[in-house]
Amino acid sequence: MERIPILRMGEFLLVTIQVDMHDQLALTLQDDLADRISATSARGVLIDISALDMVDSFIGRMISTISGVARIMDAETVVVGMQPAVAITLVELGLTLPGVSTALDVERGMNLLRTRMGRA
């Protein structure tokens, strides 16, 4: 089955979405991430969406769900790299991703996760 790879780096999990996802692939990623958080006791999840040229309500919901599930499992999620056109479209669509942390790029996202870990 087609899957989006999840990389482990210390206590963080990294996901880079580089394909135009169909819905089932997005749902699989959602489930896989929950499993990996549990299996690795990860404290943070970084999702890089810089290669996505579109985020619709389905993908937006997937991002919110991942973030919510991760939080319940004691892990923080940061979404990084959203293209400006995607951000503009998301807001107009009516999706503001409440409760989802974002950063402009991977480096800032990693810093954000580390800062949060430091506070904990």
Partner 1 sequence: MNSVRSGSHPVRLEQDVVLARQAVRKLAQECGLRLVDQTKLVTAVSELARNTVVYGGGGEMDWEVLEDGPRKGIRLVFRDEGPGIADLKLALTDGWTSGGGLGLGLTGARRLVDEFDIASTPGVGTRVTIVRWN
Q: Per CB under 8 A, does 32 bind partner 1?
A: no
Residue with Cβ nearer partner 1 (9 or 93): 93
Q: Per CB under 8 A, does 20 bind partner 1?
A: yes
Q: Per CB under 8 A, does 21 bind partner 1?
A: yes
Q: What is the 3-state secondary structure (H, E, C) of the chain?
A: CCCCCEEEECCEEEEECCCCCCHHHHHHHHHHHHHHHHHHCCCEEEEECCCCCCCCHHHHHHHHHHHHHHHHCCCEEEEECCCHHHHHHHHHHCCCCCCCEEECCHHHHHHHHHHHHHHC
Residue with Cβ nearer partner 1 (7 or 93): 93
Residue with Cβ nearer partner 1 (46 or 95): 95
Binding site for partner 1 (CB under 8 A): 20-24, 53-58, 60-61, 83-86, 88-89, 92-95
